[in-house]
Structure 1
Amino acid sequence: MKSMMLTGIREMEMQEVPTPELKNDTDVLIRLKVVAVCGSDVHYYVSGKIGSQVVQYPFPVGHECAGVVEKVGSAVTKVKAGDRIAVEPAMSCGECDQCKAGRPHTCRKLTFLGCPGQADGSMSDFIVMPEHSCFPVPDTMSFDEAAISEPLAIGVYAVNRSIPMKGAHVGILGFGPIGMSVQLPAMVKGAEKVYVSDKIDERLQIARNAGATYAGNVETTDIVKDIKKLHPEGLDVVFECCGQKEAIDQAFELLKPGGVLMLIGIPEFDRWSLPVDKGRHKEVTIINVRRQNGALEETLQMLEDGTADVSKMVTHRFSFEESQKAFDLVASYGDGVMKAMIDF
């Protein structure tokens, strides 16, 4: 089969590799149809690492994907050959203290699709995943929607953990795919006002079209001043979705006393710097978001019934052979890109 390998910093090469085989009776062989380029994939492409996770070349990244079941192990009952599926890229052990406590997303032995040292990614014709990572989707759901259910589930999980009530006033700092994945469920679940910031005007227009109350470019306007003028009491929840240090200072300024800061973005540095005095006086609650926990089924239902519309998230398409062009575009934030899809 073909596999698009990272071979160095900002380097990719299509290689022929053996098609993976079923090793366990609960394994599922999947023929990939589409892969969405994620910001974390781009971190590996441009930096060769995320924190302690360092790429050993050659290596295929990718984890936001959907496809068709090719073959199943003898004990698989959830899916069958020919089924169209969404893929949950996290593979938990089911046996450690975290899994038994209902926290499989922080499993002690977690392996993740496209994570160096854990599992090869989905930039290949075929992958093998355990049955519990495979979710059947109806014919009415596109493969794009099935793949995007992965980042959207992160937003659903973060919203479920943080928005205290209907009528909440919410800030989203960074409106890439994760920012949009927060906005959509926040509005579904009753957020009254959503205030968005980003550096790309095309993304901000998508936010407005999706119902944002305010969408400001941080490079051309003082978004804190603007939002405080619109809502001087302060926001209930701010979602940090960009991994930028200045967003933390903005969040503490924007939050009301007793507000909640959700840290979702993946920064390129190792330590956050927090304004202690303001955080202490406001008694701000800070919650780190580690992907999602049990939100994928709800997310797929939202996509199936049309409650969440992710059609505007996809802005660019590339063939499998053009994967490097997709990564270069996303890495440069070029042409107003939101989500680039790679078709097999």
Structure 2
Amino acid sequence: MKAVRVVDYHSPLQMDDVPAPQITGPHDVVVRIGGAGVCRTDLHILEGQWAEKSGVALPYTIGHENAGWVEAVGSAVTNVAEGDKVILHPLITCGLCRACRSGDDVHCESSKFPGIDTDGGYAELLKTSARSVVRIDDSLEPADVAALADAGLTAYHAVAKAARRLHPGDRAVLIGAGGLGHIGIQVMAALSPAEIVVVDRNADAVKLALDIGAHHGVVADGDHVEQVLQLTGGAGAEQVIDFVGEGGSTSEGLRMTRRAGDYHVVGYGENIDVPTIDLISSEINIIGNLVGSYPDLVALMALAAQQKVTLHTVQYPLDDFARAIEDLGAGRVRGRAILVP
């Protein structure tokens, strides 16, 4: 089968012919890929940022946002059958450790991460586990929802945590309305009664934010922190979610957070530098966010089936993987780029 592989760091991806994955265990599921999301993490992988953390042996197949159709199942699989339309949770988990037993499978003690530390979905077929597949509604197509498997799931996880702390009359500020942010805006609108303020440096992204559920849009052009403070009565927002995490957004995000509020970090790239006395005196909480759990993905797909969350995508044939990577790196993708075998 065709697969797009990392052959070396700081080198272009390469299309190869590789053996198709086979069922070898009772809980294995082989999925025919209908869409694979192209994520900024993939750019970081090519830059070598994940080399030490993942420990993956090169070459390997990249791609961690995947959806498609069940091609084959192991003898013990009962939750899906051949032909089912599915989206894949990005982790393959054990189901037995303390984290898995408590429903917090994203922190599984022995997980594998297709596309990061084992073969992923920039390919025609991918092998995963019965614990990782979620059947999707007949109204949804794999290429349209693939990026919800990681980008959408990460956005949902952070927003759902924030939404549980929000009440009518509260405000939520979302920094960044791009690939993750535009999903987070829709999730916040679906889950929370709060007034939603979106900040982005791109005027078109701000316009999109207003179209999909934000109440206020602020273009980050120099005085955006002051604009947000004006919109929040001078006190800042109860919940701030930073989908950027670099370029100064962390210090700005903290300035937008009111006393006893929560600042959620989703994007990454810079350090947070804040005097501890400021945290103590204001009781601001800084909260990190990883990808969501399997139950989070089930909930997100329910919102997608209800058309409360939709992805803005640009689709590329699998053979055109190099252009997709280049477009993402150059900032030419609005929403999410999707490879379609």
TM > 0.5 fold call: yes
- The residue type paired with residue 156 of structure 1 is Y
Task: Name the CA distance, whole Å, in 2 between partners of 1:39 and 1:142.
Answer: 23
Matched residue of 1:78: which SS? coil
Q: Is the 8 A contact 2:29 2:74 kept in 1?
A: yes
Measured at CA, do residues 65 and 133 of structure 1 come closer, stay the same or move farther in structure 2, by a change above 3 Å? same
Q: Is the 8 A contact 1:145 1:303 kept in 2?
A: no
| Match runs of 1:144-293 below 5 Å | 144-150=143-149, 151-163=151-163, 164-167=165-168, 168-218=170-220, 220-231=221-232, 232-244=234-246, 246-267=248-269, 271-293=271-293
Q: Scaled by the length of structure 2, what TM-score is found? A: 0.92
Q: Is the 8 A contact 1:4 1:60 kept in 2?
A: yes
Matched residue of 2:32: which SS? strand
1:318 is aligned to: 316
2:119 is aligned to: 120
Task: Name the CA distance, whole Å, in 2 between partners of 1:42 and 1:109.
Answer: 25
> Which runs of 5 or more residues in structure 1 are unaligned?
none
Task: Name the CA distance, whole Å, in 1 between partners of 2:325 and 2:145.
Answer: 20
Matched residue of 1:90: which SS? coil
Q: Is the 8 A contact 1:245 1:272 kept in 2?
A: no
Q: Tell me whether 1:338 sits opposite 2:312 in the alignment.
A: no
> Which runs of 5 or more residues in structure 2 are unaligned?
none
- The residue type paired with residue 283 of structure 1 is E
Per the TM alignment, residue 63 of structure 1 is displaced from its structure 2 partner at its CA by 1.2
- The residue type paired with residue 111 of structure 1 is K
RMSD: 1.9
Deviation sequence 1:63-111 (CA, Å, 0-9, x none) = 1111111111111111111111111111121222222333211111121
1:142 is aligned to: 141
Measured at CA, do residues 211 and 10 of structure 1 come closer, stay the same or move farther in structure 2, by a change above 3 Å? farther
Task: Name the CA distance, whole Å, in 2 between partners of 1:205 and 1:337.
Answer: 12
Matched residue of 2:60: which SS? coil
Task: Name the CA distance, whole Å, in 1 between partners of 2:96 and 2:219.
Answer: 46
> Percentage identity across aligned positions?
21
Task: Name the CA distance, whole Å, in 1 between partners of 2:305 and 2:213.
Answer: 20
Task: Name the CA distance, whole Å, in 2 between partners of 1:296 and 1:308.
Answer: 12
Measured at CA, do residues 275 and 144 of structure 1 come closer, stay the same or move farther in structure 2, by a change above 3 Å? farther
Task: Name the CA distance, whole Å, in 2 between partners of 1:254 and 1:296.
Answer: 29
Per the TM alignment, residue 263 of structure 1 is displaced from its structure 2 partner at its CA by 1.3
Measured at CA, do residues 275 and 240 of structure 1 come closer, stay the same or move farther in structure 2, by a change above 3 Å? farther
Per the TM alignment, residue 244 of structure 1 is displaced from its structure 2 partner at its CA by 0.7
Per the TM alignment, residue 309 of structure 1 is displaced from its structure 2 partner at its CA by 2.9
Task: Name the CA distance, whole Å, in 1 between partners of 2:160 and 2:194.
Answer: 15
Measured at CA, do residues 190 and 280 of structure 1 come closer, stay the same or move farther in structure 2, by a change above 3 Å? same
Name the count of aligned residue pairs. Answer: 335
Task: Name the CA distance, whole Å, in 1 between partners of 2:99 and 2:3.
Answer: 33
Task: Name the CA distance, whole Å, in 2 between partners of 1:266 and 1:22.
Answer: 37
Matched residue of 1:175: which SS? coil
1:84 is aligned to: 85
Measured at CA, do residues 23 and 272 of structure 1 come closer, stay the same or move farther in structure 2, by a change above 3 Å? farther
- The residue type paired with residue 240 of structure 1 is D
1:64 is aligned to: 65
- The residue type paired with residue 285 of structure 1 is N
Per the TM alignment, residue 289 of structure 1 is displaced from its structure 2 partner at its CA by 1.1
Per the TM alignment, residue 28 of structure 1 is displaced from its structure 2 partner at its CA by 0.9
Task: Name the CA distance, whole Å, in 2 between partners of 1:29 and 1:186.
Answer: 34
